[in-house]
Amino acid sequence: MTRKSQDANGSTIRDVAARAGVSASTVSRVLGGEYPVSTATRTRVLRAVRELDYVADARAKAVAGVGTPTLAFVLEDITGPSFALMAHGVEREATRLGHLCLVCSTEGDVQRELDFIETMRAQRTAAVILVGGTADTPEYRTRTRRIADSLAAAGSRLVLCGRPPL
């Protein structure tokens, strides 16, 4: 059974294509903005998008390897003044670069931190930034090194700030 990708209003890319009188791949090209499409076609597609109030499915875009790059900023407690300033700086720079910045406070829970990193790896995040101290055990280092290697293999990075190197 094939599941159609729908936006929050129930519209699909095929609905937009039908309304604009083009193929779904043409709609994708217009929305992606990286492929030459005639002005008339672009206008019809964008009008159909507005009329249907269509929003592209971010998960589908991520699977296709397009969409907004994401940075993950992971720290124990965001309420500390230095951590808050660092989070603000990272978020500001991410925005300047056109990236989305997710901030995660682990509250000192090592498993929560590792789970969050794994989630970000599955989401193909551009980078995961770990800030502050952690439980520096051999098991933690081994798992973190494995995660860093898998992030690097996927074109991502694990950045350590205020932590021992792996």
Domain spans of the chain, in order of start: 13-63, 70-161
Whether 13-63 and 70-161 share one fold: the answer is no
pLDDT at 51: 93
pLDDT of 145 reads 87
pLDDT given for residue 52 in this prediction: 92
Instruction: Output the pLDDT for position 146.
Output: 87
Do you know the residue count of the chain? 166
Give the gyration radius of the chain's Cα atoms. 20
Query: Mean pLDDT for each 10-residue chunk of the chain (166 residues)?
Result: 49 93 91 84 93 78 64 86 85 88 87 86 86 79 86 87 80
Q: What confidence score (pLDDT) does residue 67 get?
A: 60
pTM for this predicted structure: 0.61
Tell me the two tokens of residue 101.
């910045």
**pLDDT score at 4:** 47
pLDDT at site 137? 82
Cα–Cα distances (Å) from 74 to 79, 80, 119, 151, in that order, read: 13, 13, 12, 15
> CA 51, CA 47: separation in Å to the nearest integer?
6
From the options 1.10.260.40, 3.30.390.30, 1.10.10.10, 3.40.50.620, give the CATH code of 13-63.
1.10.260.40
Question: Topology of domain 70-161, per CATH?
Answer: Rossmann fold (3.40.50)
Location of structure tokens 């925005």? 95
CA distance 54 to 8: 8
Write down the pLDDT at residue 109.
87
> How confident is the model at residue 9, as a pLDDT?
56
